[in-house]
Amino acid sequence: MKLTLKIWRQKNTSDKGGFVTYVADHVSKDMSFLEMLDVLNDQLTERGEDPVHFDHDCREGICGMCSLYINGKPHGPLQTTTCQLHMRSFSDGETITIEPWRAKAFPVLKDLVVNRSAFDRIIQAGGYVSINTGGVPDANEIPISKTIADLAMDAAQCIGCGACVAACKNASAMLFTSAKISQLALLPQGQVERKSRAENMVAQMDEEGFGACTNTGACEAECPKGISITNIARMNREYFSAVVSSDNM
Amino acid sequence: MILDSKIPAGPLAEKWTKHKFSSKLVNPANKRKYDVIVVGTGLAGASAAASLAELGYNVKAFCFQDSPRRAHSIAAQGGINAAKNYQNDGDSIYRLFYDTIKGGDYRAREGNVYRLAEVSVKIIDQCVAQGVPFAREYGGLLANRSFGGAQVSRTFYARGQTGQQLLLGAYSALSRQVANGKVKLFPRTEMMDVVVIDGHAKGIVTRNLITGAIETHAAHAVLLCTGGYGNVFFLSTNAMGSNVTAAWRAHKRGAFFANPCFTQIHPTCIPVSGDHQSKLTLMSESLRNDGRVWVPATQEIAEKLRKGQIKANDIKEEDRDYFLERKYPSFGNLVPRDVASRNAKYVCDEGRGVNETGEAVYLDFRDAINRDTRKIIEQKYGNLFEMYKQITGEDPYDMPMMIYPAVHYTMGGLWVDYNLMTTVPGLYALGEANFSEHGANRLGASALMQGLADGYFVVPYTVGDYLAQLAPKQVDDTHPEFAKVKEEVQSRINTLLNINGTKPVDYFHKRLGKIMWNECGMARTTEGLKGAKAEIQALKKEFWSNVKLMGTNEELNQTLEKANRVADFLELGELMVDDALNRNESCGGHFREEYQTPDGEALRDDENYAYVAAWKYLGEGQEEELVKEELVFENVKLTQRSYK
C-alpha cells in the first residue's frame, strides 16, 4: 500500500505547529498503525529529519499510553486503541490525517504527544479508598454480589487514555472521572468516603479546565474499552446527593 | 568474596516472623527525617512507594511513562496466586512454597520463596480493601481458578485484566500519598545512574524526558522497581519502553547481576508477521485447555501450506501431527511453558512450521467447537478470539489459530539478599528487577504476587531496618560525587548524539534481538553461545560508531531515549551469553542442548550448579567475575520433572 500522511508537527508547547505531508510507501496491511509510523520514523532518521514523536508503550491495548486523532476520530476508525489498529483498516492510496488529542487540559508537548497529568490529579483528588497497608479484614469478610462486582469491573476497565476528552466537543472528562467514582460508589469499600470523593473529584475536574457534559455520547462511542455513559448519570447522582448533604466542612 | 543471603536461621515457617522482630525500627517521629527514592511505578514500585509514605517516610517516585498507571504490570492477564485455600482443595502456604520451588527447577532460595507464599494471603486482603473488583461467585465471595497446570485453585483474577486492576489499586494508594504530600511524583523522568558514596547508595541522576534536564536527587535509600529486561530480544511481550537501564547502571556501580540467562519463553503468542514487527502479543495460556497443538506430519505438506497452495482445513487427520499429545500422553497440550515452547521450536526447525515464515504452529479449536458447540467456546475465549482476529485478520472459529513462543519474563535480575538489598548497601531491587523468587522458571500468576509482596509487605520492614542504622540527618546532593556522576551521564549523552552515523537505533536493536533469540533463546549450545558473544561485541562496536540520532538533549527526544536503553542492552546481552555458557546444565527456562535426558528433557546438575550465579562488574571491556551463592535445601527434595 502507498499512503499519504498529513501529520501534525509541533516542536514544543509554545510552538504554533502545523501539518506536514509525508508519503508512506510499501505499507503492509498486517502492520499495526504504530508500526507504520515506526517505519516512517526510521526513514526520516536516515534522511536526517526529526522523527515524529508519539506516545505508546504496551502496544496491546491496556496501558492507555497511545493516543492519536486519526481522520477525525480518537484512536482511528475502530473502537480500539491506536496500537491495536492495523493498516488493513485503510485502503491503498488513502490520505490519513494524524493529530494529537485536542483539549485545553491536555497541552501538546511535542508533535502528537500531549500532557495528560490532569487525569492523575483528578485521581489524587479522591479516586481511592483511604486505607493503609496492613490491618485490613480478610478478603472474604467483605461479600459483594456478583452483579455489583461485575458493574464495578465494567467501570474499572478504563485505561485513562483520554479518548473521551478528545472525542467530546466540550473536551469534557466526565466519562473518565465517572468511571472511577462509579467503581468505588458501587462497592462497599467505597461507601465511607462516597460523598467527599464525588465532590472533590468533580471539583478537580473543573479546575483542570475540562468542559461540561452535554450528553452527546461521543465519549462512549469512541471509548476503546466500552465504558458506558451510565457512569456519568451515576456520577451526577452521586455528586448532587453529596452536595446537598456535604461531608466537606 | 562470599555472598551473604542473610536468610535467618531456624525453621522455615518461623524465619520471617523472627526476622521482622529482630529488624530495627525507626522512631515514628523520626521517619519524616528519612528520604527514599523509588524508581518505577509498577506493582512493586507503586506498592512500595505508597506503603513507605504511609509509614511516614518522604518518598520520591519516578517513572518514564506519562503516568504511574502505565507501568507494564498493567498488561498481566491471568491472575495472582495466593495460598488462601478458600476452595478447600488442599492448598496451604507450604504447598504454594513447594510448587514455586519445584516450578523454578530448584534454583531459588527456600527462605525467600516461603516468605512469598506466607505474605501472599495478605496481598488479596489488601487489594480487596482498596476496591479491586476481583471476580466473585454468586454468594458474594471471591472466585478462584486453577492456572498454569496447578493442582489447586488458588488464582484470583479480574476478568482477563488482573494486572490492570492490581496496578490501579496500587496506583490509587500512591495517588493518595501524592495528595497527602508524602510522595513527590516525577513522571516522564528516567533514571540514568545511581550515586554511590562511601559504598552506600545515596541518590540518583535522572533525565527529564520533556526538557532533557539532567538532575540529581539525594536520599537515604534507593529502591529499583524497574521490571525485567526481556526487550534485549527486541521482540517480546514487554512494553516498548521496558528496559534494563536502571538495573544495568546500578550493576556498573557495584550491584551484582544474578542469573541473567534465566528467561521465560511463553508458548502461546501471536507469531511474527514481518520485519516491521515491533512487539509480540501474548494469548492467554488458558487457550491450551481446549485448543490442540499441531503441525503437518511432513515437510512437503508444510511447504504447500506456506506457499498458500492448501489451507490448514484441507489437511487430513492422518497428516496432522499433534506433537504434544504424541510425546506427552498424560499432560498433552497442558505441558509447562518451557516444554511446550521448546517442542514448537523443534517441529519448526524440522521444516514443519506453518505461516509464511515457517515459524508458527497451529492451535486448533475445531474439535472443541464440535464437542462443546461454538457458543460455549465463545463464552470461554470470545475476547481472545476477537483480539487474535484484530491482529492477524483471520477468524479462529473457521481457521486454526497460529501461535509461536515469545520472550515473556526474566527470572534473572539484580542480586538481592533476604532484605531485598543489592550488594550496594542502601540500594534495593524489587519485583521482576531482582532475581530472587522464581529460580529458573516462573509459575503462571506468580509475577503479580511477587511484585506486591515485595512492595507492600517486605520492603517496609527491611528498609526500616537499614534506615534505623543511619543518623536522621538531612541529605543533599552537594557531595562532589553527584556532580561527577551527572557529568558522566551528560557526556555519555553527548557522545551518543555526536556519533552521527548512518543507521537508526532500531537497526541495532533488531540485530541484537536476532542474535539473542537464535543463540540464547529457547535452546542454547556452547558453539552458538560463543559465536553470539563475538557477534554482540562486534555489534556493540558498530553501534558506538555508526548509530544515527536526531535532535538534541534539550527537548523531548525519543530516539535518544531508545539509544540510551539499547546501549545497555548490548552490554547485558553479552553477560547473558556468558551466564548461559557458564551454566553447564539445563534447568527451567535455560536449556542447553548438550544437557538433556534421553527423552529430551532438561537435565539438571545439582551437584555442580545448585547455585546462584552472581556477576560482578569489573570495568569497561573486562570479563565479569562470577561469584557463587550456594543454594541450601533443608526442606525440599530435589527431583526430576516429568510430564510423560
Task: Give yes or no: residues B271 and B383 share one domain.
Answer: yes
Q: Hey, where are the domains in chain A?
A: 3-110, 116-244
Q: Check B276 against A139: CB less than 8 A apart.
A: no
pLDDT of residue A248: 66
Q: Is position B197 within any domain?
A: no
pLDDT of residue B352: 97
Rounded mean pLDDT, B134-150: 91
- Tell me which residue in A45, A64, A139 faces B548 most closely, judged by beta carbons: A45
DSSP structure string for A184-222: HHHSGGGSTTHHHHHHHHHHHHHHTT-B------HHHHH
Percent of residues, chain B, with pLDDT higher than 70? 100
Question: Residues 143-202, chain A: which have Cβ within 8 Å of B?
Answer: 143-146, 149-150, 152-153, 156-157, 159-160, 183-184, 187, 189-190
CA-CA distance, B255 to B223, in Å (whole number)?
A: 12
Q: In the structure grid, which three cell numbers stand for residue B186, read together? A: 516525577
Q: Check B138 against A146: CB less than 8 A apart.
A: yes
Task: Give yes or no: residues B487 and B594 share one domain.
Answer: yes
What is the phi-psi region of residue A75: left when phi exceeds 0, alpha when psi lies from -120 to 50, beta otherwise?
left
CA-CA distance, A155 to A157, in Å (whole number)?
A: 5
Angle at B456 between CA B455 and CA B462, to 5 degrees: 70
CA-CA distance, A152 to A187, in Å (whole number)?
A: 7
pLDDT digit string, tens, across residues B510-545: 999 999 999 999 999 999 999 999 999 999 999 999
Three-class DSSP category at B251: helix
CA-CA distance, A192 to A234, in Å (whole number)?
A: 17
pLDDT of residue B147: 83
Q: Which residue from A85, A45, A51, A92 is spatially nearest to A68, judged by alpha carbons?
A: A85
* Phi, psi torsion values for A88, nearest 5 degrees: -65, -10
Q: Are B74 and B157 in contact (CB under 8 A)?
A: no
- pLDDT class for B273, splitting at 50, 70, 90? confident
Task: Give yes or no: residues B288 and B395 share one domain.
Answer: yes
* Phi, psi torsion values for B64, nearest 5 degrees: -85, -15
Compute how many other C-beta atoms are within 10 angstroms of the C-beta atom of residue A59: 25
pLDDT digit string, tens, across residues B443-475: 989 999 999 999 999 999 999 999 999 999 999
B125 to chain A: which residues are within 8 Å by CB? 136-139
CB-count exposure of residue A115 (10 Å: 0-12, 13-18, 19+): middle
CA-CA distance, B322 to B265, in Å (whole number)?
A: 21
Q: Are B439 and B452 in contact (CB under 8 A)?
A: no
Three-class DSSP category at B48: helix
Those residues with Cβ within 8 angstroms of residue B483's Cβ, 6 or more apart along the chain or in another chain: B216
Closest chain B C-alpha to A193 CA, distance in angstroms: 12
Rounded mean pLDDT, B309-334: 94
Q: Which residue from B39, B67, B74 is spatially nearest to B187, judged by alpha carbons?
A: B67
- Chain B touched by A1 (CB under 8 Å): no
The Cβ-side half-sphere exposure at B361, using a 13 Å CA radius, reads: 32
Those residues with Cβ within 8 angstroms of residue B370's Cβ, 6 or more apart along the chain or in another chain: none
Distances (CA, A) of B466 to B36, B152, B380: 12, 38, 49
CA-CA distance, B277 to B610, in Å (whole number)?
A: 38
- pLDDT class for B285, splitting at 50, 70, 90? confident
Question: Residues 206-245, chain A: which have Cβ within 8 Å of B?
Answer: none
pLDDT digit string, tens, across residues B397-410: 999 999 999 999 99
pLDDT digit string, tens, across residues B224-245: 999 999 999 999 999 999 999 9
Assigned superfamily of A116-244:
Alpha-helical ferredoxin (1.10.1060.10)
Q: Check B393 against A189: CB less than 8 A apart.
A: no
Q: What share of chain B is helix, strand, coil (3-state, %, to 5)?
A: 40, 15, 40
* Phi, psi torsion values for A164, nearest 5 degrees: -60, -40
- Cα–chain center distance at A119: 9
Q: Check A58 against B165: CB less than 8 A apart.
A: no
Closest chain B C-alpha to A237 CA, distance in angstroms: 20
Q: Check A153 against B165: CB less than 8 A apart.
A: yes
- Tell me which residue in B137, B393, B503 faces A30 most closely, judged by beta carbons: B393
Percent of residues, chain B, with pLDDT higher than 90? 91
Q: Are A32 and A87 in contact (CB under 8 A)?
A: yes
CA-CA distance, A99 to A71, in Å (whole number)?
A: 8
CA-CA distance, A64 to A108, in Å (whole number)?
A: 17
CA-CA distance, B325 to B327, in Å (whole number)?
A: 6
Residue B151 in this model has a pLDDT that exceeds 70: yes
Closest chain A C-alpha to B499 CA, distance in angstroms: 13
Look at chain B and report how many structural domains it folds into.
Answer: 2
Task: Give yes or no: residues B404 and B484 share one domain.
Answer: no
Task: Give yes or no: residues B282 and B403 share one domain.
Answer: yes
Higher pLDDT pick, B602 / B569: B569
Q: Is position B348 within any domain?
A: yes
Domains A3-110 and A116-244 share a fold: no
CATH number for B522: 1.20.58.100
Q: Check B171 against A123: CB less than 8 A apart.
A: yes
Distances (CA, A) of B447 to A241, B50, B182, B615: 42, 19, 28, 23
Q: In the structure grid, which three cell numbers stand for residue B407, read together? A: 520472550
Q: Is position B77 within any domain?
A: no
Task: Give yes or no: residues B370 and B497 share one domain.
Answer: no
Q: Which helix (H) or strand (E) holds B559?
A: helix B558-582
- Chain B touched by A109 (CB under 8 Å): yes
B382 to chain A: which residues are within 8 Å by CB? none
Q: Which residue from A198, A179, A12, A23 is spatially nearest to A107, judged by alpha carbons?
A: A12
pLDDT digit string, tens, across residues B83-93: 999 999 999 99
Q: Which residue from B178, B209, B154 is spatially nearest to B46, judged by alpha carbons?
A: B178
Helices (H), B453-557: 459-467, 480-499, 505-519, 526-546
Task: Give yes or no: residues B270 and B392 share one domain.
Answer: yes
B72: closest chain A residue by CA: A58
Residue B312 in this model has a pLDDT that exceeds 70: yes
Q: Is position B11 within any domain?
A: no
Catalytic machinery residues of B:
337
- Chain B touched by A70 (CB under 8 Å): no
Single-letter code of the amino acid located at B552 = T
pLDDT of residue B635: 97
Angle at B218 between CA B215 and CA B219, to 5 degrees: 145
Q: In the structure grid, which three cell numbers stand for residue B466, read together? A: 537499614
CA-CA distance, B247 to B254, in Å (whole number)?
A: 11
Q: Check A143 against B131: CB less than 8 A apart.
A: no
Task: Give yes or no: residues B270 and B372 share one domain.
Answer: yes
Q: Is position B252 within any domain?
A: no
Question: Residues 115-144, chain A: which have Cβ within 8 Å of B?
Answer: 115-117, 119-120, 123-125, 127-134, 136-140, 142-144
- Chain B touched by A50 (CB under 8 Å): yes
Q: Are B457 and B119 in contact (CB under 8 A)?
A: yes
Q: Are A149 and B134 in contact (CB under 8 A)?
A: yes
Closest chain B C-alpha to A184 CA, distance in angstroms: 7
Of B384, B408, B432, the domain-final residue = B408
| ipTM score over 0.85, yes or no | yes
CA-CA distance, B258 to B580, in Å (whole number)?
A: 12
Residuewise pLDDT in 10s, chain A (249 residues): 999 999 999 999 999 999 999 999 999 999 999 999 999 999 999 999 999 999 999 999 999 999 999 999 999 999 999 999 999 999 999 999 999 999 999 999 999 999 999 999 999 999 999 999 999 999 999 999 999 999 999 999 999 999 999 999 999 999 999 999 999 999 999 999 999 999 999 999 999 999 999 999 999 999 999 999 999 999 999 999 999 988 765
CA-CA distance, A235 to A225, in Å (whole number)?
A: 18
B3-36 residues labelled b (16+ CB within 10 A) or e (exposed): bebebbeeebeebbeebbeeeeebeeeebebbbb
Task: Give yes or no: residues B399 and B304 share one domain.
Answer: yes
Q: Is position B374 within any domain?
A: yes
Closest chain B C-alpha to A133 CA, distance in angstroms: 6
Chain A to chain B Cβ contacts (< 8 Å): 219
pLDDT digit string, tens, across residues B544-588: 999 999 999 999 999 999 999 999 999 999 999 999 999 999 999
pLDDT digit string, tens, across residues B92-117: 999 999 999 999 999 999 999 999 99
* Phi, psi torsion values for B580, nearest 5 degrees: -65, -35
Assigned superfamily of A3-110:
Beta-grasp domain (3.10.20.30)
Distances (CA, A) of B269 to B33, B261, B300, B471: 48, 21, 25, 51
- Tell me which residue in A39, A117, A133 faces B460 most closely, judged by beta carbons: A133
Residue B7 in this model has a pLDDT that exceeds 70: yes
Three-class DSSP category at B268: strand
DSSP structure string for B124-145: HHHHHHHT----B-TTSSBP-B
Residue B341 in this model has a pLDDT that exceeds 80: yes
- Chain B touched by A48 (CB under 8 Å): yes
Average pLDDT, chain B: 96
Q: Check A62 against B164: CB less than 8 A apart.
A: yes
Residue B601 in this model has a pLDDT that exceeds 90: no
Q: Check B282 against A60: CB less than 8 A apart.
A: yes
Q: Check A38 against B185: CB less than 8 A apart.
A: no
Residue B640 in this model has a pLDDT that exceeds 90: no
Task: Give yes or no: residues B394 and B491 share one domain.
Answer: no
Distances (CA, A) of A136 to A131, B29, B128: 8, 24, 9
pLDDT digit string, tens, across residues A201-219: 999 999 999 999 999 999 9
Single-letter code of the amino acid located at B220 = H
Output the CA torsion sign for A120, A125, A127, A130: positive
pLDDT of residue A83: 96
pLDDT of residue A249: 59
DSSP state, residue B226: -
According to the 3-state scheme, what is the secondary structure of B390-403?
A: HHHCCCCCCCCEEE
Q: Which residue from B86, B363, B408 is spatially nearest to B233, judged by alpha carbons?
A: B408
Q: Which residue from B302, B258, B157, B181 is spatially nearest to B631, judged by alpha carbons?
A: B258
CA-CA distance, A157 to A175, in Å (whole number)?
A: 12
Three-class DSSP category at A7: strand
Closest chain A C-alpha to B141 CA, distance in angstroms: 5
Q: Check A50 against B171: CB less than 8 A apart.
A: no
pLDDT of residue A46: 92
Closest chain A C-alpha to B608 CA, distance in angstroms: 40
- Tell me which residue in A30, A48, A133 faces B274 most closely, judged by beta carbons: A30
Output the CA torsion sign for B446, B451, B453, B454: positive
Q: Is position B299 within any domain?
A: yes
Rounded mean pLDDT, B257-262: 98
Domain of residue B548: give its range: 480-606
> For an interface test with A, which of B276, B281, B500, B561 has the most A Cβ atoms less than 10 Å from its Cβ?
B276
The residue with cell 538531612 is B474
